[in-house]
Amino acid sequence: MKTDSGERPARAPLSRERVLEGALAIADAGGLESLTIRSLAHELGVKPMSVYYYVANKSEIIDGIVDRVFSEIELPAPDGDWRTEMRRRSASARAVLRRHPWAIPLLQSRTHPGPATLRHHDAVIGSLRSAGFSMAMTAHAFALIDSYVFGFALSESALPINGPETVTEVATSMMPSSAPDLYPHLIEFTTEHILKPGYDFGAEFDFGLTLILDALSSPSHAGIRP
Amino acid sequence: MKTDSGERPARAPLSRERVLEGALAIADAGGLESLTIRSLAHELGVKPMSVYYYVANKSEIIDGIVDRVFSEIELPAPDGDWRTEMRRRSASARAVLRRHPWAIPLLQSRTHPGPATLRHHDAVIGSLRSAGFSMAMTAHAFALIDSYVFGFALSESALPINGPETVTEVATSMMPSSAPDLYPHLIEFTTEHILKPGYDFGAEFDFGLTLILDALSSPSHAGIRP
DNA sequence: GTAGCTTTCGTACTTAGTACGGTGGGAGTG
DNA sequence: CACTCCCACCGTACTAAGTACGAAAGCTAC
């Protein structure tokens, strides 16, 4: 009765790729804290220690999936209009980070960037440089845009998944039921604006990005662009 | 020989305050991952389970110290010039987050804000509102400035502690020794600009903040300020 | 078939959070 | 003074997680 095949769950033979794939799926489904070696092994249909044949430790797994997240972000085309390209890659970054919110704190702070991460930064710098930005101005723009995009994603990730309607419960749950007028501006602002039907926090993204891009291309930074 | 006093380490009698104080000290010294119930108890001179008399669980401790971090950030004065006040509180926030880098990912994402956090947001909103910003414009400015400040702090926390000189080793260690010209712009940018003696990433903060504040007060957002 | 590789796994140790139920000592009461 | 009670603290122990170590199972080449 011990048939050689047909007994096994017939799974793919495991590989570093499949390990990272599974890890990404788990992190997306339940956040970083749900990604454990055991949960990953279970997902892959193997026993925990098998994973360690393909990765040295858990931190290598995390480096790997962070780089995968970076690889999902659209690169700016080096020959396009830099404002258009920056807008595209920023919107893409934001969309990607909404899919992988657990990655936001890690994107900027991992000290072992992978190839996709390096390619991404290379493309952004290239886009600015070929638009005529000086070295110094490229550094300024790069830090500014990146800080804004990732900072916004970080703020946004605090709110539950999607849509303007869920904001209501978050905002109200954050308000202390006691202490009625300790925070008058905050309460006024929340009730009069945030909780109003039309408000969508996500829409703030475009305002800030446009303002930044406009300011970066304004003539007040003379001698910088061609 | 069993003198009532003099035998004991003569420590203060523990309290919620002392628990949070100790937790903050440990997180500052070794990062969030070094803050464990056991390390905290050791720091306080008690046994692990004693801590649980004052807090329900570890996450309550983290909420507590995050709020303490917020309380260190200078509040904008409601009657000062809004640009001056925003600059002051932004610089203060950055300085505080350099002292407590472990807190950055948590500041925006904790769903249980403490009193200091609420006071802080209240003051920022109040400052903008009394400068004449409309509700909508306050929301725009708030999201923009906060995203930038916290995003910058997040980027900055990736670099090791301080100073322009340490950048060198980080930048070089990030470069793959193989693959010479896969990332031409990144390499050019790093060697020609970042690694040059005078470069200080921290100085980028002021550039971006000034650009944002200038753009927010420009007349192109007409009808918004008085 | 058997040596030697590749791949997977069993066992077990360590660190962490924390449930549950004490225990000691001081305050209050008779 | 003895007794009770409660507050502050702790001992024990269970569970989850990362991972060291080395063995087993299967595969390839001869």
Query: Would you state the structure tokens that stand for residue B68, as one six-digit string?
Result: 């303490």
| A95: contact with B, CB 8 A cutoff | no
Does residue A97 form part of some domain?
yes
Boundary of a domain, candidates B125, B159, B193: B159
**Same domain, yes or no: A111 and A124:** yes
A158, pLDDT greater than 70: yes
Q: For A125, which of B119, B143, B185 is closest by C-beta distance?
A: B185
**Same domain, yes or no: A220 and A131:** yes
Q: Residue B77 is part of a domain; what is its CATH number?
A: 1.10.357.10
**Same domain, yes or no: A107 and A150:** yes
Does residue A61 form part of some domain?
no
Mind listing the pLDDT tens digit for each residue in B119-173?
Answer: 999 999 999 999 999 999 999 999 999 999 999 999 998 875 555 556 666 666 6
| Cβ–Cβ < 8 Å for A97, A157 | yes
**Same domain, yes or no: A22 and A133:** no
**Domain count for chain B:** 2
Q: Which of A46-50, A109-113, A133-137, B192-196 has the lowest mean pLDDT?
A: A109-113
**Same domain, yes or no: A168 and A156:** no
| Cβ–Cβ < 8 Å for A47, A41 | yes
What is the domain range of residue B104?
63-159
Mind listing the pLDDT tens digit for each residue in A168-215?
Answer: 666 666 666 566 688 999 989 988 998 888 889 999 999 999 999 999
**Same domain, yes or no: A105 and A141:** yes
Mind listing the pLDDT tens digit for each residue in A30-64?
Answer: 999 999 999 999 999 999 999 999 999 999 999 99
CB < 7 A to strand C: residues 32-71, chain A: 46-50, 52-54
Which of left, alpha, beta for A133 (phi over 0: left; psi -120 to 50: alpha)? Answer: beta
**Same domain, yes or no: B16 and B48:** yes
Does residue B139 form part of some domain?
yes
pLDDT band at A126 (very low <50, low <70, confident <90, very high): very high
B88, pLDDT greater than 50: yes
- ipTM of this complex: 0.90
**Same domain, yes or no: A140 and A212:** yes
In this predicted structure, what is the pLDDT of residue B2?
A: 35
Three-state DSSP at B122 gives: helix
**Same domain, yes or no: A155 and A74:** yes
**Same domain, yes or no: B24 and B78:** no
Does residue B125 form part of some domain?
yes
Instruction: For residue B122, give how far its alpha carbon lies from the nearest alpha carbon of chain A (Å).
Output: 5
Name the burial class of residue A149, with classes exposed (0-12), middle (13-18) and buried (19+) by CB atoms within 10 angstroms of its CB: buried
**Same domain, yes or no: A102 and A152:** yes
In this predicted structure, what is the pLDDT of residue A68?
A: 97
Q: Which of A93, A208, A88, A97 is nearest to A157 (CA)?
A: A97
Does residue B166 form part of some domain?
no
| B122: contact with A, CB 8 A cutoff | yes
